[in-house]
Structure 1
Amino acid sequence: MLMVSFGQLADVLPEPVLLVASDGLVVAANQRARKALGGTGAGRSLFALCSDERAQVAGLLKRSARVRQPTLGTLTLMDGRRHRVEGAVVHPSSDGAPAVVLLRLVHEQAALSAFVELNRALDHLRREIVAQRRASQALDRQREWLRVTLVSIGDAVIATDVEGRVVFMNPVAEQLTGWTEGDAIGRPVAEVFCAVSEATREPVENPTVRVLREGVVVGLANHTVLVTRGGGETPIDDSAAAIRGAGGEVIGAVLVFRAIAERRALERLAEQRLAELVLADRRKNEFLAMLAHELRNPMAAILTATTVLRAHDEDPEAAAYAAAVVERQVRHMARLVDDLLDVARISQGKIGLRAEIVDVSRVLQQAVETSRWLIEAGRHELHLDLAAGLPPVVGDATRLEQVFCNLLNNATKYTPPGGHIWLSARGDGDEVIVRVRDTGVGIPPELLPNVFDVFVQGDQSLHRSRGGLGVGLALVKCLVELHGGSCSCASAGDGQGAEFVVRLPALRGEAAAAGADERELASPGQRLRVAVVDDNHDAADMLAVVLRRWGHDVVVAHDGLEALELVRSYGPDVAVLDIGLPGIDGHELARRLRREPALGGCTLIALSGYGREVDRQRARDAGFDHHLLKPVEPAALVKLLARVTSSGGAAR
């Protein structure tokens, strides 16, 4: 039975296999062994089949008879071929019978080739394993880089599978949608990313739906709003693209979006600024047309008056009227220029106030006197209601008078002939409240919010007769706010008149009483020695005439070098110097005069057509005590000369 079993099993093996008794007798051999031995081999002695020493063969049989696991050795057959042998016991010795061992013979060259091939295969396998490990590591690194990138970028990212279910969300997407990645994974993306049209509030198609359907890059239309999980809304900008497999097939989609609330706010601001610029440009063009109109009117009156003045000997009364016309029109033009310059200075933060304790009643009365000719020309009836004991305010009396003159002039211009104007003032707690009301044309509701803007007027028609540049009320607002006050306007509409209200902080208690003695109207005072220097002969000579009428001694020069010698020899109390002089200009003339010891008490007054703060500072640096803007207001010059009189010298 053993022989049958061995033959059936061993003949299929590719190597020679022998069954050998431990005493060396070959019991059986498979087909390969019989071929290698040149016969059946059975019944022959292994010692006779091998060329090895008997002890070596016996040692191999002895070792093999003791182990069940193969033991290694070598045998050289009689044909000289050396074989590697694996031997193990298959039937141990018993009852004195020898053990039977199985010997598997592998030709040494074939074994070497197999070993080499095995090593080659193992090396290839090792390289494959290393390559796969590196590929896996590279893939892991790429995945980590992608994950870190998607987590750290400022845009929100949602990735889906081919069915449109969420497989990834970065923290920005979590923040914007209100969904956590754990809650969103596996859900339809349309449930997590829900967008509506900002204009219609209707849902818009989720971009990933079209991406998965058509495989194209898709972005939502502008003005899209993301509805968060909690119901909040965020304006967004987004796009979506397909994720493709190795064969180019769509295996998912990625959605990238960002919040654009700040950008949308900037866009709205830009649109608002553009509208404001368009409006400002329109107002500027209207203003230039009004400016030409306003300047031509007084120039026409002045030109006509000069014709009358040339023939004043024939009709003294007409000459006097013409002179009054010239004065009135020059004052009007000067006021237009002053208003424009004041608005420019205030808008640039370059205007300053000469702060003092101001009697509001006196300022209002002076404003009425200044505007009276315009009120009378319009045949209006002025109603004054100034409460007794009005508290004083801290401010610039000249600027406050300018405020109330502008309000009165505005009421006069926009009230039809024969109308009524009310000017009232009263104290109310910590405020002084001044109201100017009229029965004029009123203010349309659409214009009322912008009535204090620059270059705004109610009547823009070419045949309007009210005049002005549209800067008066803007100047009022700016000056009142510089005094810490406020102004407002009310009107019931067209034809219903208007009321302007000015509120100023009142000065109470001891501070008001302490300043009461400081409020007194300046007067020409005592006789002074005055030098007038101006290269415009008419301007210099006329100013000299006015000063002489006030009782002062006056000398005149028309250039800088002439003035230097004249002032040195004359020794005036006051020198009124034009800045733009030939020879040496007014600044250099002032510096040289200040170096004269004998003129240390002389008050220097600058005359200039430039009234910016930098111009005033330059005059102060040159040594001037005061700076007056052309054309000179006689009242302002009276006040300066009175201060020189009271101080007995320079009023620096």
Structure 2
Amino acid sequence: MTRPKADSPLDLARHAPSEPAMSEPQYHALVDAIEDCAIFMLDLSGRITSWNKGARKIKGYEAHEIIGQHLSRFYTAESVARGWPEYELKQAYATGRFEDEGWRVRKDGTLFWANVVITAARNTQGEIIGYAKYTRDLTAKRAEEEKLRLSEERFRLLVESVSDYAIFMLDPAGHIASWNTGAMRIKGYQPSEILGKHFSMFYCPEDLEANLPEIELQTAIRTGRVESEGWRVRKDGSLFWANVVINAVYDEHRVLRGFAKVTRDMSDRKRLDQLEVSSRRISEFLATLAHELRNPLAPVRNAIGVMQMESDVPERIAACRDIIDRQTSHLGRLVDDLLDMGRITTGKIDLRMTRVDVSEIVARSIELVHPFTDERAQNVVTKLPSEPVHVMGDITRLVQVVQNLLNNASKFSPRASTIRVEVEREATALLLKVIDKGRGISQKGLTSIFDLFVQEDHYLNPGEAGLGIGLTLCRSIVEMHGGSISAASAGPNQGSTFVVRLPYASDHDAPRPHRVLAQTATLGTGGGLRIVVIDDNQDSADSLALLLQMKGHDVRTAYHGKEGLDVIRHFPPQLILLDLALPDMDGHAVLRALRSQRLIGRATVVAMTGFGQDSDKERSAQAGFDAHLVKPVDFDVLDRLLEEVAKR
């Protein structure tokens, strides 16, 4: 439950409706007199600079004993070990105010439950010069709340008639102490068969090997509650998908009495989730299939156009040609329907593929994480091959992957530690490794850290927020590049190694000499357009070029983006028909290169693609294309385009 923010005594004192305004000495005298709240000031490093009567009463220290000491003295050893005092100051510095509740330590070593508010103190220029901190002792209130919670928990566990939930108690060592009707129905055991047995018998062998039962109990002790989902084992050996909640149960003296465990059989929901995932993947497959079907349809339609321009064709051949024409049109409509059924899943990443030097990826990534590593006084060292190593990829996305891995390594490594980035060559792929000596990853974490529905830092750093962009996205990006990503660790506090494997850029990724189709007898004598067709589907490019030549135009073809740039550099066209999905650089990148190299001139640049959604056409228009043709190109649309270009 979120507590409403309380005004601090500092705020109440400053805004008291007294007239005239309170003087500074009067204000400090009032604060010092407050006894039910510890109010004191800290410098920027967290050391105490003032101490009121409430602080003496609650904390137990006299002013001369504590002034000059660091505020971490009031925190438990566990909180200090995880850097909680420094975290509170950083949050107060960043946002101006931080509020928290937790156990604090008095001078005599006893614990009390405290509400803590830290406020950034500023000078007249608005600069933060320290912090004001006030602490209230809420031990009695928390004890009452805990007592009520235990009462409610015992009452809930007494409801043995509940059959949809397996509800049972564990002793502090994890042995089963109670067993309700739902537990009998879901697990299959009678009380006489299960009482006194260890609850780990419900877990799969791989979970037992990863010590998951003990990890869950320790997490419940540390945080009060742990929730997880996974496969569990019934008495008959069958598996069911379970949602499991374990609560640590304490008495009024904070002595651990055991655990309350609630298990729900979520097998039906799991099956539905799997069906939804399968449905989404089928949708994505259908969309991809529809796009790919457009590629072979395009040259077929172009070839039909060429045949239709031939006048001296036998009647039977003409009839077959017309049948192919009608059926191809019908197939095109079916592809359109397929595209409508399988729209691109929201969040799909479009890659801008280019030939990239891996050292550039590493350099950009390190540059982006410098603020993060510098704050922790960490050093990033690299080990790169002496010769350049190239991959085909979207440099922005690959930098995103490496940057995310470096951020993770920095976040979960000690201050002033060293993070290594190593690039190694294998026979068919390169390995890019990010290596740290930080907290490491448990064996359970290694098996699921890249899964979409897993909180990765549940294994890496319980209690903190996740890693932002997420390892799932890293895996998706790497796999879209034809690579893989994996993680390795010897265990907690043993460091981690993330390995990205990417295929090398092949030789044909470099620009190749362009081809010029032989001129046909029907080529016009100066009245046609100068046209360049750039399409990696050679049949599509050649058949479209042949069709255009038969219409009287001078045509050149290219099968790669860089090859197309070279063709246009030596053959300035009036019309450029540009496929968007090219292997070396996509159509958008080609268009940008044409502009930057001033190769367009007065040419009309038209996008050709298998994607024909309104959003695809809008993107082409925003990129600066003059028109958007959907494969297979409709002949009437093509003729209108040629007429418009000729008029220009």
Q: TM-score, normalised by structure 1?
A: 0.28
Bigger radius of gyration among the two: 1
Which of structures 1 and 2 has the larger relative contact order (alpha carbons within 8 angstroms, sep 6+)?
2
